[in-house]
Amino acid sequence: ELKVEQNPLFLSMQEGKNYTIYCNYSTTSDRLYWYRQDPGKSLESLFVLLSNGAVKQEGRLMASLDTKARLSTLHITAAVHDLSATYFCAVDRDQGGSEKLVFGKGTKLTVNP
């Protein structure tokens, strides 16, 4: 059974600081997704990482994937208040020819002024 673990689950940071969210998964997969969720809203796609060593950056967020270590990171650079949200990683689970996303528990990020 595919398990996806995120840490930390809660993160409170000061504006301007850097931090990394980690996402570990338990079985082989080459596809990892990062999403952002604001309170009361649905998911917003941030990154899709499709191969080992993939690195993608958008603004103050950078995501990477190490399929050998079964680890993805979401790095936050010089955080600003607008980044406050819950961040989920998700991994494709291929079962019997059908694919499904398995989500981590999410990391609630609060950026304080």
**How far is the C-alpha of 49 from the C-alpha of 35, rounded, in Å?**
12
- Of residues 19, 24, 73, 103, which one binds another protein by CB under 8 A? 103
Handedness of CA 43, 76, 103, 64 (dihedral sign): positive
- Of residues 24, 66, 106, 110, which one binds another protein by CB under 8 A? 106
Residues 48-87 that bind another protein (CB under 8 A): 48, 50
- Is residue 31 near another protein by the rule CB under 8 A? yes
**How far is the C-alpha of 87 from the C-alpha of 106, rounded, in Å?**
5
Q: Tokens 């840490």 belong to which residue? A: 7
| 13 or 48: CB nearest another protein | 48
**How far is the C-alpha of 97 from the C-alpha of 43, rounded, in Å?**
25
- Is residue 3 near another protein by the rule CB under 8 A? no
- Is residue 2 near another protein by the rule CB under 8 A? no
Under a CB-based contact definition with an 8 Å cutoff, are residues 49 and 72 in contact?
yes
Under a CB-based contact definition with an 8 Å cutoff, are residues 20 and 109 in contact?
no
- Of residues 29, 88, 91, 111, which one binds another protein by CB under 8 A? 88
- Is residue 41 near another protein by the rule CB under 8 A? yes
By the criterion CB under 8 A, which residues form the site for another protein? 31, 33, 35, 40-43, 45, 48, 50, 88, 92, 98-106
